[in-house]
Amino acid sequence: MELTYDTFYIDGGWVRPSSDRVIIPIDASTERPLGRVPEGVEADVDAAAGAARRAFDTPGGWAEWEPVRRAEVMERLAGAIDRRADEFVTRVSSQNGMPAAVARQLETGYPSAVLRYYARLARETAFTDVRPGLFGGSVEVRRAPIGVVAAIVPWNFPQALAMFKIAPALAAGCTLVVKPSPETVLDAYLLAEAVAEAGVPAGVINIVPAGREAGASLVAHPSVDKVAFTGSTPAGRAIAEVCGRLLRPVTLELGGKSAAIVLDDAELDLARIGQGLFGSTLLNNGQTCFLGTRVLAPRGRYTEVVDAFTALAGSLTIGPALDPETRVGPLATARQRERVESYIAAGRAAGARLTTGGGRPKGLDRGWFVEPTVFADVDNSSVIAREEIFGPVLTVIPYDDVDDAVRIANDSDFGLGGTVWTEDPERGAAVARRIQTGTIGVNRYIPDPVAPFGGIKASGLGRELGPEGLTAYQQTRTLYR
Ligand code: NAD
């Protein structure tokens, strides 16, 4: 695969870049270049933001369309994405190492489902309501679109996380500048082609792949009304500071270090729950923000839990991302592997007991592979239990009783995801409700598009998905009559 692009998708057309800078995406499984695209700089961001501004401000334009008319465009876009499903899988998996089977579910089917869900909300939600006034007369409350959105997305789920922003923004009547991460740019061009094919009006969605500097210029751009960001906590803090100064609304989906709490009655038969455990602790080579990477195990069954996770991690087929048999692919970049390996070294140095993995898999000399790794005898105060590793590395931490498990789970700088494993779903739900986190599951975890997703503490601000995710792209306008 060699894919070369020399334009950006701005204002409904293919526009030449303003500089000769390029991004060369690399195949995470082979370390070979996959193609070349232009790298956006401040002037390109400016062109895209200007186009989004004009599209938003045009009288009778997108922002003022009846929501059902916007829904029709969104449904056409979902169809255009579906028609490119195979190509999305190939491009995403090659670039970021996501196993193709995961990409098929979460990077094509899931984004178009999110888009159709918000199209339905656009059809069914009341955008205006009229209330009798307390002192006579009536009051009209209109949910107006917030304006031009800067959507800044990371490389780990580039299409799903872009759609968490694009779909509600379109439903609300906003226009967008989407800035993909430099690691995942080729899928962004497929999305641009789908946008063009679906007849999304010019300027409503503009896409400029670029790095941090151009991203920062987008955050602060005078034409932008709202920033929606997914990425690391340090970048989120930097963006929030700028938005604070500008009084610009911002949504932040940041890192996590969630707990997977195994209760004393939990089933540990991997034939029954292995898939669920895998999906909630190791999905996408551990490069998933909501994973329960701190496994909390009751002391009475500690050895059993360590053995179960050791067996699970040791049983996973490691291989190139595009191989349909692969359960664990390479990490997205050389830098990401260095980071993960430095945490594994820190775990060893702190005296944690390595029960499986810890190195690079044999026979895979190219590609940024790391073995699925489990550490036992970990204290919740150690670096590998406190910081987000963003790789296939689990820590198993013992607890005394349920109160102790809840205390350890809540003793974290983050609060994004989590799971509780038990044979008694009601007991599991009662424990889950005590965890300080934005989302949590009992015996399963998958962000459901109908419900708000997001974090507390250092995991972020605001929510995406669900009807709540739509209100983040609206502002109420009140008219007393
Ligand atoms: P990153 O924060 O370095 O980059 C994310 C995106 O932001 C990229 O597009 C990058 O170019 C851009 N960016 C970085 N600094 C910026 C700035 N100051 N101004 C504007 N744009 C800027 O993160 P990453 O390494 O690409 O992604 C991995 C991180 O993202 C992990 O920590 C992970 O937990 C987090 N993440 C969180 C969620 C979530 O929903 N909570 C989802 C996925 C990833």
Residue 448 reports pLDDT greater than 90: yes
Residue 410 reports pLDDT greater than 70: yes
CA nearest neighbour of 400 among 260, 304, 258, 302: 302
> Ligand 1, atom 4: nearest CA belongs to which residue?
231
pLDDT of residue 153: 98
Domains of the chain, earliest start first: 3-254+459-480 (3.40.605.10), 259-448 (3.40.309.10)
Prediction pTM value: 0.97
Ligand 1 atom nearest to CA at 255: 34
Distances in Å between the Cα of 212 and the Cα atoms of 147, 265, 459 are: 23, 47, 20
CA nearest neighbour of 313 among 396, 248, 404, 377: 396
> Ligand 1, atom 3: nearest CA belongs to which residue?
232
Specify the amino acid at residue 139. V
CA nearest neighbour of 295 among 285, 281, 316: 281
Distance between CA atoms of residues 122 and 73, nearest Å: 11
> Ligand 1, atom 21: nearest CA belongs to which residue?
215
Residue 72 reports pLDDT greater than 80: yes
Ligand 1 atom nearest to CA at 219: 20
Give residue for tokens 């424990």.
431
Distance between CA atoms of residues 351 and 479, nearest Å: 64
Phi, psi (5° rounding) for residue 295?
Answer: -90, 120
From ligand 1's centre to the CA of 226, what distance in Å?
17
From ligand 1's centre to the CA of 48, what distance in Å?
21
From ligand 1's centre to the CA of 86, what distance in Å?
26
> Quick count: other Cβ atoms within 10 Å of Cβ 367?
22
Ligand 1 atom nearest to CA at 155: 26
Distance between CA atoms of residues 54 and 46, nearest Å: 12
Spacing of C-alpha 177 from chain mean position: 17
pLDDT of residue 199: 98
Residue 152 binned pLDDT confidence (cut-offs 50, 70, 90): very high
pLDDT of residue 2: 82
What's the per-residue H, E or C state across the chain?
A: CCEECCCEEECCEEECCCCCCEECCECCCCCCECEEEECECHHHHHHHHHHHHHHHHCCCCHHHCCHHHHHHHHHHHHHHHHCCHHHHHHHHHHHHCCCHHHHHHHHHHHHHHHHHHHHHHHHHCCCEEEEECCCCCEEEEEEEECCEEEEECCCCCHHHHHHHHHHHHHHHCCEEEEECCCCCCHHHHHHHHHHHHCCCCCCCEEECCECHHHHHHHHCCCCCCEEEEECCHHHHHHHHHHHHHHCCCEEEECCCCCEEEECCCCCCCHHHHHHHHHHHHCHHHHCCCCCCCEEEEEHHHHHHHHHHHHHHHHHCCECCCCCCCCCECCCCCHHHHHHHHHHHHHHHHCCCEEEECCCCCCCCCCCCCCCCEEEECCCCCCHHHHCCCCCCEEEEEEECCHHHHHHHHHCCCEECCCEEECCCHHHHHHHHHCCCCCCCEECCCCCCCCCCECCEECCEECCECHHHHHHCCEEEEEEEC
CA nearest neighbour of 112 among 210, 202, 13, 195: 195
> Quick count: other Cβ atoms within 10 Å of Cβ 251?
25
Q: Supply 138's token pair.
A: 């009536």
User: For a pLDDT cut of 90, what percent of the chain falls above it?
Assistant: 99
| Helix 158-172 / helix 67-82 crossing angle, nearest 10 deg | 160
Ligand 1 atom nearest to CA at 460: 41
Exposed (0-12), middle (13-18) or buried (19+): which is 189, by Cβ within 10 Å?
buried
pLDDT in tens, 348-358: 999 999 999 99
> Ligand 1, atom 22: nearest CA belongs to which residue?
212
Ligand 1 pocket mutation pick from 157, 218, 232 by most atoms within 8 angstroms of CB: 232
Which of 39, 183, 253, 464 is catalytic? The answer is 253
Ligand 1 pocket mutation pick from 98, 110, 181 by most atoms within 8 angstroms of CB: 181
* Ligand 1 site, CB within 6 A: 152-156, 161, 179, 181, 211-212, 215-216, 219, 230-232, 235, 238-239, 253-256, 289, 388, 390, 416, 455, 459-460
Residue 314 reports pLDDT greater than 90: yes
> How much is the average pLDDT of 93-110?
97
From ligand 1's centre to the CA of 323, what distance in Å?
27
User: For a pLDDT cut of 70, what percent of the chain falls above it?
Assistant: 100
Specify the amino acid at residue 298. P
- Concerning whether 197 is annotated as a catalytic residue, the answer is no
Distance between CA atoms of residues 478 and 443, nearest Å: 44
From ligand 1's centre to the CA of 374, what distance in Å?
26
From ligand 1's centre to the CA of 210, what distance in Å?
12
> How much is the average pLDDT of 144-150?
98
From ligand 1's centre to the CA of 95, what distance in Å?
16
> Ligand 1, atom 26: nearest CA belongs to which residue?
154
> How much is the average pLDDT of 58-64?
98
Residue 61 binned pLDDT confidence (cut-offs 50, 70, 90): very high
Ligand 1 pocket mutation pick from 21, 23, 152 by most atoms within 8 angstroms of CB: 152
pLDDT of residue 1: 62
